[in-house]
Chains A and B, each alone.
Chain A
Amino acid sequence: QVQLVESGGGVVQPGRSLRLSCEASGFTFIRHAFHWVRQAPGKGLEWVAVISDDGNSKYYADSVKGRFTISRDNSKNTLYLQMNTLRTEDTAVYYCARAFTLFGVPSDYWGQGTLVTVSS
């Protein structure tokens, strides 16, 4: 069955960095694009970034552009989100979600999420 398992969350001070991972199984990883979507405590969903199946195309929300980097290792079936210069407003549960293309198709499977808390 399709599984997406995020890891790497935790408590970090403002200005520091963190790298999230999302390990995929149960489907052909290289056939899918992937998104990161976050949800601040008690708030709605916010799209963060997307990467194409081959990793060559990447797009970001303005709120994270220049600070976050999405990447993937197709040999390890793993998606990453490198988060630098973290701010308190980045505190959220971060979900990885798969899609068949970059845009124009909604994500059908989501991981359980990993909590990132940015606090001094």
Chain B
Amino acid sequence: EIVLTQSPGTLSVSPGEKATLSCRASQSLPTNYIAWYQQKPGQPPRLLMYGASTRATGIPDRFSGSGSGTDFTLTISRLEPEDFAVYHCHQYGSSPTFGQGTKLEIK
């Protein structure tokens, strides 16, 4: 099983600033089958990014993804109030797994 470790567990950032979230895989993902989801309380996850760096439909360009191999990053530039949520990374290969999540909170 591929274990995904997200860091930090909680990230405190001010609106208008940049947030950088990390996701590290226990083994290399040559196909870059990494997605990022945003989840707000009481809501299901919302797909933000797939293929490590491709934004899903309707996702604003302040969200960007990067990385390859075992290290992946989600960057949110110019944080808006609605961006404060929990973010999950997800590898969608033949035995899918999720990271434990990073809570992005207002500083």
Task: Spell out A's residues near B (CB within 8 Å).
Answer: 35, 37, 43-47, 50, 59, 62, 95, 97, 99, 103-108, 110-113
With A95-B44, A106-B35, A108-B47 as known contacts, state yes or no: A47 contacts B94, CB within 8 Å: no
B57 cross-chain contacts in A, Cβ below 8 A: 108
A59, A106, A108: the one contacting B90 at CB < 8 Å is A106
Minimum CB distance partner of B93 in chain A: A103
A37 cross-chain contacts in B, Cβ below 8 A: 98
Number of interface residues of B (CB under 8 A): 25
Minimum CB distance partner of A48 in chain B: B96
A111 cross-chain contacts in B, Cβ below 8 A: 44
B31 within 8 A of A: yes
B31, B56, B101: the one contacting A104 at CB < 8 Å is B31
B24 within 8 A of A: no
Give CA–CA (A45, B44) in the complex, Å.
Answer: 10
Give CA–CA (A113, B44) in the complex, Å.
Answer: 7
Can you spell out 26 A-B residue pairs with CB atoms less than 8 angstroms apart? A43-B100, A44-B88, A44-B98, A45-B37, A45-B45, A45-B90, A45-B98, A46-B98, A47-B96, A95-B45, A99-B92, A103-B33, A103-B92, A103-B96, A104-B31, A104-B33, A104-B93, A105-B50, A105-B92, A106-B35, A106-B90, A106-B92, A108-B56, A110-B44, A111-B44, A112-B44
The B contact surface, by secondary structure, is loop
B99 cross-chain contacts in A, Cβ below 8 A: 44
Give CA–CA (A112, B57) in the complex, Å.
Answer: 19
A63 to chain B, nearest CB (A): 11
Task: Report yes or no: B97 in contact with A47, Cβ–Cβ below 8 A.
Answer: yes
B50 cross-chain contacts in A, Cβ below 8 A: 105-106
Minimum CB distance partner of A61 in chain B: B95
A113 cross-chain contacts in B, Cβ below 8 A: 44
A35 to chain B, nearest CB (A): 8
Question: Which residues from 36 to 75 on chain B have a C-beta closer than 8 Å to any C-beta of chain A?
Answer: 37, 43-47, 50, 56-57
B10 to chain A, nearest CB (A): 13
Give CA–CA (A46, B46) in the complex, Å.
Answer: 15
A79 to chain B, nearest CB (A): 15
